[in-house]
């Protein structure tokens, strides 16, 4: 038996020594080995990629608390409140300061001229309440004759007609910003222009550490009825010195030299009332104030909760959270709600601004 085995081994060795067969076996061996290696690489690479994602990508997402919190908000999960950062007022109001560089009308329109303008364009509050549409009339200044309009109803109507388009315009801009914000969030990759836009919004809303949740909470609308009520309260329906001399519709304070000093100010008080080049700048500053200042965190929290529950923003509810706006506190909020109710201002909360551009058409 052993001899037969030796004989077979000898025959195999002779065959292997034959040059052509030896090369063919070597080629077959290397081809098979290479094929096995390739198959092995393709079979384990998905597992290696999964391990990489688990170890690195997921850890990065976990560290990005802002994005996780925002996803929780979008899914209806309760999360912590917005960041509590000290504001950089120059960054927050930088785009508003730029209004100072815009040339304004040299002639202030009289009350009679404005009334005729509204009549010629068929712009009256009765139609607005009925049709829920308002003319895109953007007046830069209040008429000096506001005080001389004897009829309280007439004076109120004129004031509302002037400020209503300005308030809706500001809300429209925020609607567009929120629409763009959520579109950016829904993309896996963002362009450089989108990243630059986000950085600009972080600055405008005083958001540090690029916290997306805080930006979502702050970059939101103010109910039209609430804004009209505060403007009416702060200006006496457009008759105050601050409104007529400085286009200040909301009585915001400043400690800079660029302001109007209140008469009869208490000793030790150094604040002034902010003045603006145009009325629209005052409206934007008011929006930015409510949307960023720490005094109105509860206001923004309640507003965000309404958003998460798909509820319409309620000015009579939100007014309760503006007690820090004036020294009179709760009494101030009661007056706001009284103004809203007595003048049926909630009729304007769902009013749309007639489009004067393709951009506005996208949101109405």
State residue 360's pLDDT score. 44
- How far apart are the C-alpha atoms of 341 and 245, rounded to whole Å? 29
- Structural tokens at position 246: 């400085």
State residue 16's pLDDT score. 37
Domains of the chain, residue spans: 2-63, 65-361
State residue 1's pLDDT score. 47
The CATH class of the 65-361 domain is: mainly alpha
User: How distant, in Å, are the alpha carbons of 131, 154, 190, 260 from that of 256?
Assistant: 44, 36, 39, 10
State residue 274's pLDDT score. 84
State residue 13's pLDDT score. 42
- How far apart are the C-alpha atoms of 120 and 105, rounded to whole Å? 21
Low-confidence ranges of the chain (pLDDT < 70): 1-81, 83-90, 97-106, 253, 255-257, 259, 264-270, 356-364
Contact 144, 172 (CB under 8 A): no
User: How distant, in Å, are the alpha carbons of 117, 153, 321, 326 from that of 295?
Assistant: 40, 33, 9, 11
Contact 152, 342 (CB under 8 A): no
Contact 135, 354 (CB under 8 A): yes
State residue 157's pLDDT score. 98
State residue 269's pLDDT score. 64
State residue 344's pLDDT score. 98
- How far apart are the C-alpha atoms of 297 and 291, rounded to whole Å? 8
pTM: 0.75
Contact 279, 61 (CB under 8 A): no
**Which residues are registered as beta bridge partners of 272?**
254
User: How distant, in Å, are the alpha carbons of 162, 175, 269 from that of 360?
Assistant: 19, 10, 43
253-254 and 133-134: which strand pairing?
unpaired
């Amino acid at each position: 038996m052993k001899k037969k085995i030796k004989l077979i081994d000898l025959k195999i060795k002779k065959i292997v020594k034959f040059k052509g067969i030896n090369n063919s076996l070597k080629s077959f061996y290397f081809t098979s080995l290479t094929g096995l290696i390739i198959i092995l690489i393709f079979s384990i690479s998905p597992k290696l990629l999964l391990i990489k994602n688990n170890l690195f990508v997921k850890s990065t997402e976990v560290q990005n608390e802002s994005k996780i919190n925002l996803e929780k908000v979008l899914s209806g999960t309760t999360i912590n409140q917005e960041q509590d950062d000290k504001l950089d007022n120059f960054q927050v109001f930088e785009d508003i300061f730029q209004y100072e560089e815009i040339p304004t009308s040299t002639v202030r329109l009289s009350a009679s001229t404005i009334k005729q303008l509204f009549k010629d364009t068929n712009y009256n509050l009765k139609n607005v309440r009925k049709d829920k549409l308002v003319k895109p009339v953007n007046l830069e200044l209040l008429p000096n004759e506001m005080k001389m309009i004897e009829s309280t109803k007439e004076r109120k109507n004129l004031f509302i007609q002037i400020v209503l388009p300005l308030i809706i315009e500001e809300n429209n801009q925020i609607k567009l910003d929120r629409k763009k914000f959520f579109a950016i969030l829904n993309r896996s990759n963002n362009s450089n222009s989108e990243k630059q836009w986000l950085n600009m919004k972080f600055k405008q809303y005083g958001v540090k550490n690029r916290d997306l949740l805080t930006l979502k909470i702050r970059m939101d609308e103010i109910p039209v009825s609430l804004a009209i009520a505060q403007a009416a309260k702060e200006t006496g329906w457009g008759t105050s010195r601050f409104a007529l001399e400085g286009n200040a519709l909301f009585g915001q304070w400043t400690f800079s030299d660029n302001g109007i000093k209140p008469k009869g100010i208490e000793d030790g008080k150094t604040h002034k009332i902010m003045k603006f080049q145009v009325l629209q700048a005052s409206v934007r500053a008011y929006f930015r104030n409510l949307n960023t200042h720490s005094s109105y965190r509860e206001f923004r929290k309640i507003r965000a909760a309404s958003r998460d529950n798909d509820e319409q923003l309620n000015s009579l509810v939100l007014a309760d959270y503006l007690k820090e706006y004036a020294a009179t506190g709760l009494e101030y909020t009661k007056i706001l709600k009284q103004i809203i109710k007595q003048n049926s201002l909630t009729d304007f909360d769902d009013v749309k601004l007639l489009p004067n551009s393709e951009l506005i058409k996208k949101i109405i």
